[in-house]
Amino acid sequence: MTDSVARRMDMKSLLTLSVLLALIREDKGQKPEVFLLPTFSDVFAGDDITLICKGVGEPIKWFINGSQQSHQGSSMLLTAVTSKDNGKYECERDGSKIPPYTLTVEELEPHAQLSPSIGGAVMSKGGGRNLELYVDDDAHGWKCFALRGESGFRLNPDVKTDKTAVIYAQLNEAKRATFWCKNGTQRSNAVTLKMTELRVMLEPPAAPAWLGESVALRCAVWGGKAEKATFYKDNNSIANTTEDTYIITNATQADAGQYKCHATYRYSHISADAAQQEGHSDAQELKVIGRPPAATVNSTSPKNLECFCRDCPANCTSSYWYHTLFNDSFACRRLPKNTDIITVEEGGLYSCRRVCEKGFSRFSNVYSYTAQPEPVNVLAIIMAVILMVLGVLIVVLIVLKCRKRGGFSFQVMDRWTGGDFDQIQFTNLPHASRGQGQG
């Protein structure tokens, strides 16, 4: 065997070995990639998402926009994302880089709202919670989904009214699960619920904490109520109270962190002499993020209203208008007009939001309009009075004129003759001749 033949065989063997190694790295033939869970076509501000580095091999390295991260797991959880999280997410397994995933977060509100009817984002093991879906148009046709780990499930919403539906959310054995609803290309926000096996639980709201708004953190006790509660942020005590809720007013980035609580409680509803108990909750992350831009209602005149949004994307090209009666604050209806400017007639509260290519702006401020009574046409009344006075004056002048000429006559129906008329003549006579008859 010549040296050249031997070298060709060695190269062929190396090539075969590299192919086998590539097949092994591709995890039973599956293409290595970075993919998103849930598989949203559009990601909205406030969503919780997970990026999965699919493939085999260790170690695992993550890069965001080319910068290496400290995270080394095969999945990267991103909570309450905003446009600050935009960029290229790339992972490397055993020295081989995998094509990146480009994340783009829409700073808009989605087409429907999903939220717990009661409670927050944390539930006891084995528990469940109703999530209510609210839509602008028609709740029929919407479908809902749950993601537990990497497994997805479809849920059938129970339509309650034209605009609302309810799903029952359960975690089963999962530590956390994400729920959302869709209708074609439109979807709701995503709600993430987390499980705890402790009797004491800190319940942050299911929605993100928004900059400048209030946030309520509740120290809940499974099957009871906290008599005393101590709240902690990043392991530092921040409040000790007999109330079970800690409220952050005007939230800022400084309020972000890990929160937990310690509760003292007793099941006195079971036994009057129940022993006092106490316990800690799990730590829960609180992120504070900026909200999508809000629309503004501007009154160009008492009846003409304009909807605009200075910070909205350029693809926000129309507006939805909403009207609520003064005496029925729950009867909010969307007006049929889909224009930037409307003329109002009916009294009540008016608001708007901009309609964009992939979602909505936030709702605007509320404009209060009180319907005015129809204005009185003073000129018409004055003209009518003048005409009436002129009419009376004309009649008086005619009567006076006739009297000066010596008399006037009119006819009187003879009620005894069945309709014949007699003419009666009234004549102005001198006083001396009034007693004489007429020939």
CA nearest neighbour of 293 among 211, 185, 208, 207? 211
**How many angstroms separate the CA atoms of 379 and 247, rounded?**
61
- b/e map 266-292, b = 16+ CB within 10 Å: beeeeeeeeeeebbbbbebebbbbebb
Give a yes or no: residue 202 inside a domain. Answer: no
**Per-residue pLDDT, 390:** 80
Omega into 59 within 30° of 0, i.e. cis?
A: yes
Tokens of 223: 């099957």
Q: Are residues 49 and 18 in the same domain?
A: no
Q: Are residues 130 and 62 in the same domain?
A: no
Give a yes or no: residue 439 inside a domain. Answer: no
**Per-residue pLDDT, 399:** 65
**How many angstroms separate the CA atoms of 158 and 142, rounded?**
10
Q: Are residues 125 and 163 in the same domain?
A: yes
How do the pLDDT tens digits run along the chain, 439 residues long? 444 544 454 444 444 434 334 433 444 445 689 999 999 999 999 999 999 999 888 999 999 999 999 999 999 999 999 999 999 999 999 999 999 999 999 999 999 999 999 889 999 988 889 999 999 889 999 999 999 988 899 999 999 998 999 999 999 889 999 999 999 999 999 999 999 999 999 999 998 899 999 999 999 998 888 899 999 999 999 999 898 999 999 999 999 999 999 999 988 777 777 888 999 999 999 999 999 999 999 998 889 999 999 999 999 999 999 999 988 766 788 998 889 999 998 999 999 999 999 999 999 999 999 887 655 566 767 877 788 878 777 776 776 676 666 554 444 444 444 444 444 444 444 444 444 444 4
CB 134 within 8 A of CB 146: no
User: In Å, how far from its chain's centre is CA 367?
Assistant: 18
Among candidate residues 106, 139, 166, the one where a domain is terminated: 106
Phi, psi of 196 (to 5 degrees): -130, 145
Among candidate residues 369, 387, 403, the one where a domain is terminated: 369
How many domains does the chain fold into?
Answer: 6
Give a yes or no: residue 358 inside a domain. Answer: yes
Give a yes or no: residue 415 inside a domain. Answer: yes
Q: Are residues 362 and 308 in the same domain?
A: yes
Burial class for 324, CB neighbours closer than 10 Å (0-12, 13-18, 19+): middle
CA nearest neighbour of 181 among 217, 141, 151? 141
CB 305 within 8 A of CB 341: yes
Strand pairing class (43-44; 105-106): parallel
CA nearest neighbour of 283 among 202, 183, 173? 202
**Per-residue pLDDT, 186:** 93
CB 80 within 8 A of CB 286: no
Among candidate residues 147, 166, 197, the one where a domain is terminated: 197
Q: What CATH number is given to the structural domain containing 236?
A: 2.60.40.10
Instruction: Dump strand ranges (E) for 6-71.
Output: 33-37, 43-44, 49-54, 60-64, 67-68
Owning domain of residue 169: 109-197
Residues 429-438: contacts with CB within 8 Å, 24+ apart? none
Q: Are residues 346 and 385 in the same domain?
A: no
Give a yes or no: residue 203 inside a domain. Answer: no
Give a yes or no: residue 173 inside a domain. Answer: yes
Q: Are residues 65 and 13 in the same domain?
A: no
Q: Are residues 272 and 341 in the same domain?
A: no
**How many angstroms separate the CA atoms of 302 and 368, rounded?**
10
CB 12 within 8 A of CB 4: no
CA nearest neighbour of 282 among 204, 228, 178, 172? 204
Helices (H) and strands (E) in the chain, counts: 2, 39
Give a yes or no: residue 286 inside a domain. Answer: yes
Which amino acid is located at 425 in the chain?
Answer: Q
Give a yes or no: residue 342 inside a domain. Answer: yes
Q: Are residues 115 and 101 in the same domain?
A: no
Q: Are residues 40 and 113 in the same domain?
A: no
User: Is 0.85 surpassed by the pTM of this model?
Assistant: no
Omega into 116 within 30° of 0, i.e. cis?
A: no
